[in-house]
Chain A
Amino acid sequence: MQQDILLKVTDLHAAIDGREILKGIDLEIHPGEVHAIMGPNGSGKSTLSGVLAGDPRYTVTAGSATFHGVDLLALAPENRSHEGLFLSFQYPVEIPGVSMVNFMRAAVNAKREYLGEPPLSASDFLKLMRNKRAVVELDNKLASRSVNEGFSGGEKKRNEIFQMAMLEPRLSILDETDSGLDIDALRIVASGVNKLKTQHNATIVITHYQRLLDYIRPDFVHILYKGRIVHSGGPELALELEEKGYDWIKQQVDNDEQQQ
């Protein structure tokens, strides 16, 4: 599988409001892999996920991102989704007045249309909803409400993974999915992600803490600092970070910068 590249990010620079946040990201992801991206606050983790998903607030100033051969950065956010990219939001958005059912049906059928498939019938769609709800034990009541409206923190995150199950992405980016979750919710969310894992898809887990990585085991761990991946390693790197914190990495990078 190593020869198939799912995502290749090269020298990616991005800015928000004229301020450069990403300063040259290089990343290569293959099918079947789980990558963890860790780093201190403000290092650019959420910017990276936003830029890959096409958040219009960010401007890409240099570099490229190729998603299974497609120029990802040239695509509108909806088409990135259709091509198989999924972002689980750190702060899922509440959309009063739009029911989960209508929201999900619009999403699923838009993807089908993009792929040249006919829309799902109402009964097939509801069946799909039912099956996928089970993945994260999402209550039927939540599915019939407005998108994320009045959901608890845990319910919102479960809803993200439910949507991921519905859309069957090739690459999922989980942005701080563990934030605001108690241990039970964390277990349910992580087990949902693991159930959806195959040898054909890949996951980027963006997290601050080691905790989530006890449940979703990464193959690779990258440390993001000051808009660059400054260190990469295997799962043991996450444990090292948990033990020693980020200071040693910061010092190393800051010293290097001074020497230059």
Chain B
Amino acid sequence: MMNSSNNALQQYLELHDAHREAIDAHSAAPMRALRSRARLRLEPPARLPRKADEGYARTDIDAIFAPDFGINIMRVPAPVDIAASLRCDIPNISTLMAVVAGDEFRPTDTLVRNMPAGVTLTSFSEAEKTMPGLVAGYLGRLADADEGADTATLLNSLLAQDGVLLHVSAGTVCTKPLQLVNIFNAGIPTLAARRVLIVLEPGASASLLVCDHTQSRGIACLASEVTEIFLGNGARLDYCHLEESNPDTSRVASLHASVGADATLDINGSTLSGGRTRNSYTVHLDHPGAQARIAGMAIASGTQHTDNNTFIHHHAPHCTSSQLFKYILDGSASGAFRGLIRVDQDAAFTEAYQTNRNLLASEQATMHTEPQLEIYCDEVKCGHGATTGQLDQAAMFYMRSRGIPQAQARMMLMQAFMADVVDTIAIPSLRDRLRMLVERRLNGQQTACGDCAAACAPAPSTQP
């Protein structure tokens, strides 16, 4: 691919136009329909956001997409059996796991065998056969809606060939956590357009852990991820995302959710390692009693960059939302947080809170935070707060005076700083897992997922 213009989007449009037939051949009908609509909207003057654009002051999306990334159009399977070498299971709970290798969905044997009744975790292509019409009914309704659909999301719609569906039927409570492991193992610079659709029918309940890993080293990877979540009345979803890739891997992700009456959406998004990361969360509290809690953390060092954007939209009365984002930035790392709460005129008795706290562990690290409230209704309780500072020196001396070495005291204080973000996770074993991973990360241990052999070591080759 040649980047013939100064517009990163152009190269992907050219790629798409040249290979549309092959791309469509690997896509289910709803995906093809989404693609056609996206292509029309990506005509000039459409371009990817740059720093001058509102909401992107700290992250140049155009620059992230600018390198000459390849896309797996020919559906060449990843050269190793990732699933077999992966031991990413969470201790003490049996998760129902699937792998997304690059952008290709691969269920594990245990997933297929143990899937509880009423729960589906599968590819769009499979879903079209077993539950026809379901994906088409939801796909793109939030992410690609006219209002607010950004170019990076439309580009995902253009390039994603398949996607992952999680569907839980009405009243079904899935007690076992589901897990989706995204893995890059690239030989050439690769862009994976990942698409996720989560539909919980009324009264359904589930938890999903999504992990990002990169096995290859020294090869640029870019994950474009768009997730849409539909929660029916009284449904409940715990959604955990854990990014543990490497400095060569960037991520441009957006999550869009619609929360039904008395439904609850819990999100925890943690970036422990990566290159440049941009996460957007757009949550619509559409019906009375809807509730959303979003927590996130970033622990960044080197030249890592993490940008989290939230937009919580209170459309209906008696909804509550809370946001808690914390960053620890070391080295020359940079962080950004931009959070918007909008309360519509009809959304009386709203409760909405937003907190962003940041620790700068070095003089070179930078943080930009921009909390925003737009309230068009009088009957609300809203609040936001943002602080950026250094480690508490009084606490540090107190600990050292008790004999705790400086490095350990620092680590303990940083861990303590992140404790409330970890504690937002409802599933105890996941919570313990994240706590351990945070500890390791702060210890400077370069680990991907604990004892997961696949994610830490270069992938073993099956080639002779």
A residues adjacent to B (C-beta < 8 A): 53-57, 76-78, 80-82, 86-87, 89, 92-98, 102-103, 106-108, 110-111, 114, 146, 163, 167
Which residues from chain B contact A95 at a C-beta distance below 8 Å? 392, 395, 398-399, 413, 416
Given the complex, which residues of A lie within 8 Å of B395, measured CB to CB?
93-95
Among the 9-residue stretches B192-200, B207-215, B269-277, B404-412, the one with 4 or more Cβ atoms under 8 Å from chain A is: B404-412
Known: A111-B403, A167-B402. A77 touches B416 (CB 8 A): no
**B418-432 contacts to A (CB < 8 Å):** 419-420
Neighbouring B residues of A80 by C-beta, 8 Å:
401
Number of interface residues of B (CB under 8 A): 22
List 20 A-B residue pairs with CB atoms under 8 Å apart, sorted by A's residue number.
Answer: A55-B401, A57-B397, A77-B400, A77-B401, A78-B400, A80-B401, A93-B395, A93-B397, A95-B398, A95-B413, A96-B419, A97-B415, A98-B415, A106-B404, A106-B412, A107-B403, A110-B403, A114-B403, A146-B416, A167-B403
Q: Tell me if B403 and A82 are in contact (CB < 8 A).
A: yes
How far is the CB of A86 from the nearest CB of chain B, in Å?
8
Q: Chain A residues near B2: list those with CB within 8 A.
A: none
Grouping DSSP codes into helix (H, G, I), strand (E, B) and loop, the B interface class, with mixed when no group exceeds half, is: helix
Shortest distance from the beta carbon of B412 to any chain A beta carbon, whole Å = 5
Known contacts A81-B402, A110-B405, A114-B403; can you find 4 more A-B pairs with CB under 8 A? A55-B397, A95-B413, A97-B420, A146-B416
Q: How far is the CA of A216 from the CA of B209 in the complex (A)?
A: 58
Which B135-184 residues have C-beta < 8 A from chain A?
none
Identify the closest chain A residue to B397 (Cβ). A55
Taking a contact as CB atoms under 8 Å apart, the answer to whether B398 and A76 are in contact is no
Tell me the smallest distance from the CB of B431 to a CB of chain A, in Å: 14
Q: Are A110 and B398 in contact (CB under 8 A)?
A: no
B69 interface residue (CB < 8 Å to A): no
Find the B residue at minimum CB distance from A163.
Answer: B402
B394 close to A (CB within 8 Å) = yes
Q: Does B311 belong to the interface (CB within 8 Å)?
A: no
Q: Which residues of chain A are near B412, meaning CB under 8 Å?
A: 98, 102-103, 106
Bound: A163/B404 CA distance, A: 13
For B423, give the chain A residue with the smallest CB separation.
A97
Distance, CA A2 to CA B300, complexed state (A): 56
Nearest chain B CB to A59 CB, angstrom units: 14
Distance between Cα atoms of A78 and B413 in the complex (Å): 16
Min CB distance, A98 to chain B, in Å? 5
Contact indicator per residue, chain B 369-395, by CB within 8 Å of chain A (1) or not (0): 000000000000000000000001111
Cα(A110)–Cα(B406), bound, Å: 11
| B56 at interface by CB-CB < 8 Å | no
- A54 and B401 within 8 A (CB): yes
Assess the A89–B408 pair: CB atoms within 8 A. Answer: no
Residues B398 and A92 in contact, CB atoms below 8 Å apart: yes
B417 within 8 A of partner (CB): yes
Partner among B392, B400, B402, B417 whose Cβ is within 8 Å of the Cβ of A76:
B400
Q: Which residue of B lies closest to A85 (CB)?
A: B401
Which residues from chain A contact B400 at a C-beta distance below 8 Å? 54, 76-78, 81
A53/B401 in contact, CB under 8 A:
yes
The answer to whether B394 and A106 touch across the interface, beta carbons within 8 angstroms, is no
Distance A107 CA – B25 CA, assembled complex (angstroms): 63
Task: List, in ascending order, chain A residues with CB within 8 A of B393's CB.
Answer: 56
Report B439 CB to chain A, min CB distance, Å: 11
Q: How far is the CA of A82 from the CA of B393 in the complex (A)?
A: 20
Name the distance in Å between A102's Cβ and chain B's nearest Cβ.
7
User: Hey, what's the 0/1 contact readout for B275-295 against A, CB within 8 Å counting as 1?
Assistant: 000000000000000000000
In the complex, the chain A residue whose C-beta lies closest to that of B408 is A106
Question: Which of B392, B399, B405, B419 contacts A103, CB < 8 Å?
Answer: B399
Determine the chain A residues whose CB is within 8 A of the CB of B403 once the complex forms: 78, 81-82, 107-108, 110-111, 114, 167
Q: Given that A78-B403, A78-B405, A107-B404 are known contacts, is A89 also in contact with B415, CB under 8 Å in the complex?
A: no
| Closest CB in chain B relative to A176 CB, distance in Å | 16
Note all chain B residues with C-beta closer than 8 A to A107: 399, 402-404
How far is it, in angstroms, between the C-alpha of A57 and the C-alpha of B457 when the chains are bound? 45
